[in-house]
Amino acid sequence: MAATIDSKAIQTPQARPWWMHLYVQVLGAILAGVLLGHYWPSVATEFKPLGDGFIKLVKMIIAPVIFLTVATGIASIGETKTLGRVVGKTFAYFLFFSTLALIVGLVVANVIQPGAGMNIDPATLDAGAIAQYEAKAHEASLTAFLLEIIPTTFASALTEGSILQALFAAILFGLALSHAGEPGRQVLGLLEKVSVVFFGLVGMLMKFAPIGAFGAMAFTIGRYGVESLANLGLLIATFYLTSLFFVIVVLGAVARLSGFSIFSLIAYLKAELLLVLGTSSSEAALPSLMQKLEQAGCAKPIVGLVVPTGYSFNLDGTNIYMTLAALFIAQAVGVDLSLGDQLALLLVAMVSSKGAAGVTGAGFITLAATLSIVPSVPVAGLALILGIDRFMSECRALTNFIGNALAAIVVAGWEKALDRDALHRALRGEPAPLAAQPIETDAD
């Protein structure tokens, strides 16, 4: 039987020991992976299945989480006009900051000139090493990308692992729900209950994050070696510092205008960011990011639309990398790009960067697609950065992740769908107030 319980008698749960926090466990796993990869590389590379397995576990639930979040969110909005306004504001935000990131990469490459003086003959480069990436790049086109958004069947949108296909199916289903009357409301209630179960599953899978981060980092260091960083150290340092500048100065200014600090947001998402660092994939933390943004006061429909879409259309880190790496290759092989050539490169990158998912290696393939359209820069020059791309992908993923988290908060603020009290509580690390719910005790 249910008993009446005095709320004052409910004690605040004690803080967990420091070593029980996910971000501490993931950080420890990353450090352990680095040490194993450096001192016992042959052993470390055998741990690759741990990282691959964890990423597959997360990908298993990404499509259902996106579908449930977006479909229930859109059904709750109810008005197609409101949906269109949110989508319009979202893509305007994405286009502006994606283009700005491309420009920042271009400017920094011209100022620092990390490839100047290398004087490499393109004929001496191993074109075979990048053949697989070049083949994938030629398969990519804007038309093919747009057609790929439409799933073969409704079910395949949830089984083929495409974020955009899951999002497309969810939008259509949510719109149908909102116009289905009483049957739609009944199905909506069921889907909301299923959502609770899936986010519970997200919490379960996140417990394996340290294992996945350890396996992925051990393989990366063991396979490529820390010493490979020294060969192209200026390019790596330039990219990391440029990305840091973009996050702190550019995105930091946007956060400040929105009423909070970018450092507070980074601290709030520290566990997810460490997971992205360890696995080099922003997809690994996608479900957890959506959950945390809702806890921080962003309306579910906004989170469901902005975050999954941003994983293909709002890739700040990838865009910085593309123009910076393209100019590095041109400088290294002695190709002098005129202002017109650089503007052409920028325009091509604006198109080819759309649709690069937040998975390891996508930025490299997108760069190959860009260079294949701009004949003045030899595609074979990609061989110069192939060995360090894995280390660059970590920075790309981190920058993309922060940019998408900020985008969701900004768009929610524009739509007056942001609980600012909840946001500031979350960013200060304060627990959210317990929702009113019946408390049951054992029967007498």
241 backbone φψ class: left, alpha, beta (φ>0; ψ -120 to 50):
alpha
Enumerate long-range contacts of 2-11, CB under 8 Å, 24 or more apart. 2/438, 2/439, 2/440, 2/441, 3/439, 3/440, 3/441, 5/439, 5/441
As given in the structure block, the two tokens for residue 217 are: 């980092």
As given in the structure block, the two tokens for residue 241 are: 């510092």
* DSSP-assigned states of every residue in 72-100: HHHHHH--HHHHHHHHHHHHHHHHHHHHH
Q: Is residue 402 part of a domain?
A: yes
Among 20-29, 339-348, 421-430, name the most confident range.
Answer: 421-430
Q: Is residue 438 part of a domain?
A: no
Q: Is residue 197 part of a domain?
A: yes
Count other Cβ atoms within 10 Å, centred on residue 436. Answer: 6
Q: Is residue 1 part of a domain?
A: no
pLDDT per residue over 218-261, tens digit each? 887 887 676 655 656 788 889 999 999 999 999 999 999 999 99
Q: Is residue 112 part of a domain?
A: yes
Q: Is residue 14 part of a domain?
A: no
Number of domains the chain contains? 1
Cα separation, 73 vs 84, in Å, equals 14
Cα separation, 432 vs 15, in Å, equals 14
The string over 394-413, giving b where at least 16 C-beta atoms fall within 10 Å of a residue's C-beta and e elsewhere, is bbbbbbbbbbbbbbbbbbbb
Q: Where is pLDDT greater, at 27 or 370?
A: 27
Residues 6+ apart with CB under 8 A from 325: 235, 239, 367, 385, 392
Please determine, for residue 266, whether its predicted confidence score (pLDDT) is greater than 90: yes
* Spatial CA neighbour of 405 closest among 307, 297, 288, 276: 307
325 backbone φψ class: left, alpha, beta (φ>0; ψ -120 to 50):
alpha
Q: Is residue 9 part of a domain?
A: no
pTM for this predicted structure: 0.77
* Domain around 261: 20-427
Give 444's pLDDT tier (boundaries 50, 70, 90).
very low
429 backbone φψ class: left, alpha, beta (φ>0; ψ -120 to 50):
left
Give 123's pLDDT tier (boundaries 50, 70, 90).
low
96: domain CATH number?
Answer: 1.10.3860.10
Mean pLDDT of the chain: 79
Q: Where is pLDDT greater, at 47 or 410?
A: 410
What pLDDT shows up at residue 332? 82
Q: Is residue 432 part of a domain?
A: no
